[in-house]
């Protein structure tokens, strides 16, 4: 690591009870103790902090800020963004920034320490009350039905507060002053158990759920933003049954642990990971599974990672304390459909999956999934922005007109630009099913309606077949179509507060290109108003089109055909055998020769699939990104020598209008040689990752780019991300990566907002 990389600047947005409680002096003391410069100030939304100094000290700052709160302070959210040093000379407390907070919706917050203490205190009147909450914690986004956020505008409207709860609610000195979901065992929601004809209520209901899970059964549990399916995570047959019934072959399940201590028996947990797990946002955190873990193999088949989370509602705390063991906690749905939120809906849709149902009578206003995060580059990276994070705003570069962005197709989100802020919805899932599309339309109405922004402009992807694009076509507002990878790069720029010119490296599975072909290995030069496709991966045919995204062997076949032409089928028959297996070679050959249903793509995601198939790791995927993951997991870090190479060649040689094309042919040749020699998949994977990272850096250098933003689904891969950043820095470039917004299509809506505003600025 070079000297500049060892220093950094950390911007932190802290929200919650952080004003008038000695929070700024606490920040000041901590900064001085760690020899950090910067500033702190109150804002309409909370406290904003910038600290600058040694990276290790900044990390300590982040950990201690949350861990050593002054008495009376309570955090609801702590979002860090790493930036480059700005040269702050000392630390100061700045005057408050003007502006009242926007009357918006706030995210659901994990149960706070004080409520947790009450939950397990036999003398407390809320002892074992599964709905305990206060002003600093509990449900918000999942219960609000309209603004302003007042009790009648929540799903708690049907519960009348008892006299004691009402007194707390009206007392400005009380922790529950204006806590909208405030309730107690006398006046609040109740649990109910349903299993066939069997019924129970309250604690008895909870006890039945515990019994069922202990006996190897599957329980559907109504949580905060939807139903979970719970099963004993150590019981292979229970977990396997859950997979079968849910029609979920191999996609990993998340597991919930009673506490951090229990989790440490199954995975290594670094301090930053522990911070995330125990944070008010309480996301699922991807961890390295330890070899001694006694979790059932079916929790995450063939996967060295473990998605872990801690209890975040009082109900989870009660359940997990009684169970005292890890449980699979997966979303209550069939396959990839949206979460079930209503009791009747769950009983029907999950009837074939769950053996019993733990229900309650507090309605859920909208589905809110668990968020997912991981640590990469020594910092937090959000992969799915949902519970705990959405819809906290993200600062836009400047104020502008209201715009609503419809996002993409997979990992859908919508976003709203109001003045200088972007409000990104919770993750809405893939828009593959009617139920998912319904959820999307609701969210689009929701975010426009709840904020009353009356947006006159809609932004969407340029793909004509995305359900989100089609929705905008049905609307009267002015529309702005935004190229997929351009949106990816803009999203990354917003997060890192970057102004053009910037070179965007946008690598993903597929996005609609400006020329109508499938893009996914793009180098986009971002200027003040637009972008230029300066370079891209050499294209290759995808026999079978869409189906190639789950069948990596098709990408491999297309790659080989592009390299060897028609001779492939005679000269390299033995190479094709394991790839084609029972597929009809003659049909495929005809398809390729005539270019029938063989769209061309420059996708790096498909290149990953092809290499995973060639290396014998994964011929087909049962979920998006599985082949690329298999390649990432196989990587043998001990392999350093003989990285493959991609050649940067003039675009004209390939009939491309871009200045440069990144040719994978030398990489493929070397890889085939390696495979012929019997090289291990781990070495092949390391060389492949290394080649891509170096190619990104060398292309940036050739294009004369100083600042490079890395975006797109491929950069969820920590090995690729870290190698690309190292390669870029090695060539004296500055690399910027996602942090709070996912690099995958969950970030598209944010980028679309910025693109639309750019268009409006130019044309108005």
**Site residues for Zn ion per CB under 5 A:** 112, 115, 134, 137, 162, 165, 184, 186-187, 508, 511, 745
Nearer CB in complex with Zn ion: 184/750: 184
Cα separation, 726 vs 733, in Å, equals 10
DSSP tag of 247: T
User: Contact 503/703 with Cβ under 8 angstroms?
Assistant: yes
Nearer CB in complex with Zn ion: 283/521: 521
In the complex, minimum distance from the CB of residue 508 to Zn ion, in angstroms, rounded to a whole number: 4
Give the pair of three-digit tokens for residue 61: 């700052």
Nearer CB in complex with Zn ion: 137/548: 137
In the complex, minimum distance from the CB of residue 119 to Zn ion, in angstroms, rounded to a whole number: 10
Cα separation, 30 vs 680, in Å, equals 49
Strand-pair category, 478-482 with 707-711: unpaired
In the complex, minimum distance from the CB of residue 465 to Zn ion, in angstroms, rounded to a whole number: 15
Cα separation, 119 vs 113, in Å, equals 10
User: Contact 518/493 with Cβ under 8 angstroms?
Assistant: no
Cα separation, 534 vs 518, in Å, equals 16
User: Contact 40/28 with Cβ under 8 angstroms?
Assistant: yes
Q: What does each C-alpha distance from 593 to 318, 575, 590, 596, 758 come to in angstroms?
A: 63, 19, 5, 8, 43
In the complex, minimum distance from the CB of residue 512 to Zn ion, in angstroms, rounded to a whole number: 10
Nearer CB in complex with Zn ion: 134/635: 134
In the complex, minimum distance from the CB of residue 336 to Zn ion, in angstroms, rounded to a whole number: 17
Q: Which of 219, 216, 192 is nearest to 205 (CA)?
A: 192
Nearer CB in complex with Zn ion: 182/426: 182
In the complex, minimum distance from the CB of residue 271 to Zn ion, in angstroms, rounded to a whole number: 24
Cα separation, 253 vs 327, in Å, equals 10
User: Contact 664/654 with Cβ under 8 angstroms?
Assistant: no
In the complex, minimum distance from the CB of residue 293 to Zn ion, in angstroms, rounded to a whole number: 32
Nearer CB in complex with Zn ion: 625/651: 625
Alpha helix segments (H runs only) across 130-257: 163-170, 202-214, 236-246
What is residue 529's three-state secondary structure?
Answer: coil
Nearer CB in complex with Zn ion: 30/410: 410
Nearer CB in complex with Zn ion: 503/684: 503
User: Contact 719/691 with Cβ under 8 angstroms?
Assistant: no
Cα separation, 753 vs 755, in Å, equals 6
Nearer CB in complex with Zn ion: 193/466: 466
Q: Please confirm whether the linkage preceding 50 is cis (ω < 30° from 0).
A: no
Nearer CB in complex with Zn ion: 137/681: 137
In the complex, minimum distance from the CB of residue 754 to Zn ion, in angstroms, rounded to a whole number: 16
Q: What does each C-alpha distance from 571 to 554, 576, 614, 672 come to in angstroms?
A: 18, 10, 17, 14
In the complex, minimum distance from the CB of residue 689 to Zn ion, in angstroms, rounded to a whole number: 20
In the complex, minimum distance from the CB of residue 523 to Zn ion, in angstroms, rounded to a whole number: 15
């Amino acid at each position: 690591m070079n000297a500049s990389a060892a220093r950094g600047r950390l911007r932190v947005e802290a929200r919650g009870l952080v004003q008038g409680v000695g929070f700024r002096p606490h920040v000041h003391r901590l900064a001085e103790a760690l020899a950090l410069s910067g500033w702190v100030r109150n804002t309409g939304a909370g406290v904003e902090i910038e600290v600058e100094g040694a990276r290790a000290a900044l990390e300590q700052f982040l950990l201690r800020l949350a861990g050593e709160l002054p008495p009376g302070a309570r955090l609801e959210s702590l979002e860090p963004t790493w930036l480059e040093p700005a040269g702050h000379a000392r630390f100061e407390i700045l005057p408050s920034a003007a502006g009242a907070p926007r009357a918006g919706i706030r995210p659901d917050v994990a149960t706070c320490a004080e409520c947790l203490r009450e939950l397990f205190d036999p003398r407390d009147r809320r002892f074992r009350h599964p709905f305990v909450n206060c002003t600093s914690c509990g449900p918000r986004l999942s219960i609000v039905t309209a603004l302003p956020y007042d009790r009648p505008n929540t799903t708690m409207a049907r519960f009348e507060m008892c006299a004691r709860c009402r007194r707390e609610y009206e007392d400005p000195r009380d922790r529950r002053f204006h806590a909208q979901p405030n309730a107690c065992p006398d006046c609040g929601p109740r649990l109910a158990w349903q299993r066939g004809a069997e019924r129970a209520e309250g604690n008895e209901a909870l006890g039945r759920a515990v019994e069922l899970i202990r006996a190897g059964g599957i329980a559907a549990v109504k949580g905060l933003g939807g139903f979970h399916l719970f099963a004993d995570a150590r019981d292979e047959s229970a977990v396997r049954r859950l997979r079968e019934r849910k029609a979920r072959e191999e996609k990993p399940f998340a597991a919930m642990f009673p506490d951090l201590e229990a989790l440490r028996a199954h995975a290594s947990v670094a301090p930053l990971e522990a911070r995330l797990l125990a944070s008010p946002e309480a996301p699922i955190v991807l961890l390295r599974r330890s070899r001694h873990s006694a979790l059932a193999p079916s929790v995450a088949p063939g996967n060295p990672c473990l998605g872990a989370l801690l209890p975040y509602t009082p109900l989870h705390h009660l359940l997990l304390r009684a169970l005292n063991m890890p449980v699979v906690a997966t979303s209550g749905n069939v396959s990839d459909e949206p979460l079930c939120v209503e009791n009747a809906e769950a009983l029907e849709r999950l009837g074939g999956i769950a053996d019993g149902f733990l229900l309650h009578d507090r309605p859920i206003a909208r589905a809110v999934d668990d968020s997912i995060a991981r640590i990469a580059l020594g910092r937090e990276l959000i992969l799915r922005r949902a519970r705990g994070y959405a819809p906290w705003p993200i600062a836009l570069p400047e104020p502008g007109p209201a715009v609503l962005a419809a996002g993409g197709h997979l990992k859908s989100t919508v976003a709203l630009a109001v003045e200088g802020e972007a409000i990104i919805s919770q993750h809405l899932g893939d828009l593959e099913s009617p139920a998912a599309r319904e959820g999307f339309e609701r969210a689009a109405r929701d975010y426009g309606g709840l904020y009353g922004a009356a947006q006159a402009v809609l932004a969407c992807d340029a793909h004509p077949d995305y359900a989100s694009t089609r929705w905008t076509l049905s609307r009267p507002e002015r529309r702005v179509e935004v190229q997929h990878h351009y949106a990816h790069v803009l999203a990354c720029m917003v997060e890192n507060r970057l102004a053009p010119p910037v070179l965007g490296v946008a690598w993903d599975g597929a996005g609609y290109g400006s020329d109508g072909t499938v893009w996914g290995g793009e180098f986009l030069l971002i200027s003040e108003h637009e972008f230029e496709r300066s370079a891209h991966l050499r294209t290759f045919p995808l026999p079978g089109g869409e189906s190639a995204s789950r069948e990596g062997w098709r990408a491999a076949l297309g790659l080989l055909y592009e390299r060897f032409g028609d001779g492939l089928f005679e000269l390299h028959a033995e190479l094709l055998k394991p790839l084609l297996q029972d597929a009809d070679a003659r049909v495929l050959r005809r398809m390729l020769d005539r270019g029938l249903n063989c769209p061309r793509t420059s996708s790096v995601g498909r290149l990953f699939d092809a290499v995973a198939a060639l290396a014998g790791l994964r011929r087909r995927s049962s979920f998006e990104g599985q082949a690329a993951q298999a390649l990432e997991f196989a990587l043998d870090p001990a392999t350093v020598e003989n990285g493959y190479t991609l050649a940067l060649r003039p675009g004209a040689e390939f009939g491309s209008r871009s200045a440069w094309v990144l040719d994978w042919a030398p990489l493929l040749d070397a890889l085939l040689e390696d495979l012929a020699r019997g090289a291990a998949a781990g070495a092949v994977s390391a060389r492949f990752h290394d080649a891509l990272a170096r190619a990104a850096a060398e292309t940036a250098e050739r294009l004369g780019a100083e600042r490079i933003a890395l975006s797109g689904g491929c950069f969820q891969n920590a090995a690729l991300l870290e190698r690309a950043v190292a390669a870029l820095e090695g060539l004296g470039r500055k690399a910027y990566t996602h942090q709070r917004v996912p690099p995958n299509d969950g970030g598209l809506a944010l980028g679309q907002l910025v693109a639309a505003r750019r268009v409006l600025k130019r044309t108005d």
